[in-house]
Amino acid sequence: MPTRPAASARQRVTVDTGASRYDILIGAGLLADASAWQGLPAAAQALVVTNTTVDPLHGAALRHALAPHYARVGTLALPDGEAHKDWPTLNLVFDRLLADACDRRTVLFALGGGVVGDMTGFAAASYMRGVPFVQVPTTLLAQVDSSVGGKTGINHPAGKNMIGAFYQPRRVVCDLDTLSTLPARELSAGLAEVIKYGPIADAAFLDWIEAHLDDLRARDPAALAHAVRRSCEIKAEVVGADEREGGLRAILNFGHTFGHAIEAGLGYGEWLHGEAVGCGMVMAAELSARLGLMPAAFVGRLARIVERAGLPVRGPRLGAARYLELMRVDKKAESGQIRFVVIEALGRAALRPADDATVARAIEAHCA
């Protein structure tokens, strides 16, 4: 396993899909580091898309950093929350771009968590059929997952992230100092996406997470730096091999099929995305065991790690039939058949179908 870096070290992870190549910069103080913003596409203006929570915390720092590079730097602060990841809110971005007479060289900067990043990326992919954008994630979940890999989009009442595009950023800038402003619940939600990388790709990383969960929840800088870097390394490798989720990339959705059903079933916003994924991973581990792929002890171990991270391990009682109905509106479903990300061996995941009865038992085993 890679050596754990010093908290102050500046790190770089490269994503190479063949069609595009960009860097993920990781370190403390990057918002104010001039080198983090050099070499980006030249333009007359830039637009920072953020939300009403993040803008007062970090908006001024990013605008100051961008001022030497762009004659005009605008800001659009969207309403905060998953409930606003929709068409009306996305149209606010287009309204602003058109009002400012932005051209196809205008650079968008997504400053915030996963919702801001997904929506800004989708707007960038769509406006004038594509303008450059940069991810500046300020949540742990966004730094280790959603800002990397080019998945962009919005939700539909019938399904999460069902409308969108694959569109890669020009750079991802992960300033670890922004994590100090995260509420504890949001930090825990991000840990769900860190935890998933262990079962699907790196058993030694899962051991490390298990040993350092208390450090991560206490926001130890060195622990966070290592967790972000290793998560990004794994995601970069997977995305580089399968940019458009034709096969391998689907393993990054471990726990997400169950988790998305929880989010949609409750109405977006009641549970955080990472909370739903944490619980969904436990259900997916249960399914892996019921399919004979993993021992029951794995389910217990993963549930303990998820719970120690401050995440729920019991899902809402929507009823197994409702879960199955929602899971059939899933990007991994084919001809109505759901394909689940399961663990074949610790550190190796695969896509498998499963009969409804087995899935229902896995769900009911972990519902409140």
Residues with catalytic annotation? Answer: 129, 151, 193, 235, 245, 249, 253, 256, 260, 273
Structural tokens at position 41: 């596409």
Q: Which of 330, 333, 332, 254 is nearest to 293 (CA)?
A: 254
- Under DSSP, the state recorded for 140 is H
Alpha-helical (H) ranges within 267-355 are 273-290, 296-308, 320-327
Q: Which of 146, 165, 163, 144 is nearest to 231 (CA)?
A: 144
d(C-alpha 40, C-alpha 37), whole Å: 6
Count other Cβ atoms within 10 Å, centred on residue 69. 17
User: How far apart, in Å, are the Cα atoms of 12 and each of 26, 63, 112, 230?
Assistant: 6, 23, 20, 11
**How many residues are there in the chain?**
368
Q: Which of 212, 217, 211, 213 is nearest to 182 (CA)?
A: 217
**Residue in the block written with tokens 């929602």:** 326
> 79-84: long-range contacts (C-beta < 8 A, 24 or more apart)?
79/51, 79/52, 80/51, 80/52, 80/53, 80/54, 80/115, 81/115, 81/269, 82/115, 82/155, 82/263, 82/268, 82/269, 82/272, 82/273, 83/267, 83/268, 83/269, 84/115
d(C-alpha 98, C-alpha 75), whole Å: 14
Q: Please, which residues have CB within 8 angstroms of residue 172's CB and are 6 or more apart in sequence?
A: 15, 22, 23, 24, 25, 134, 135, 136, 137, 147, 148
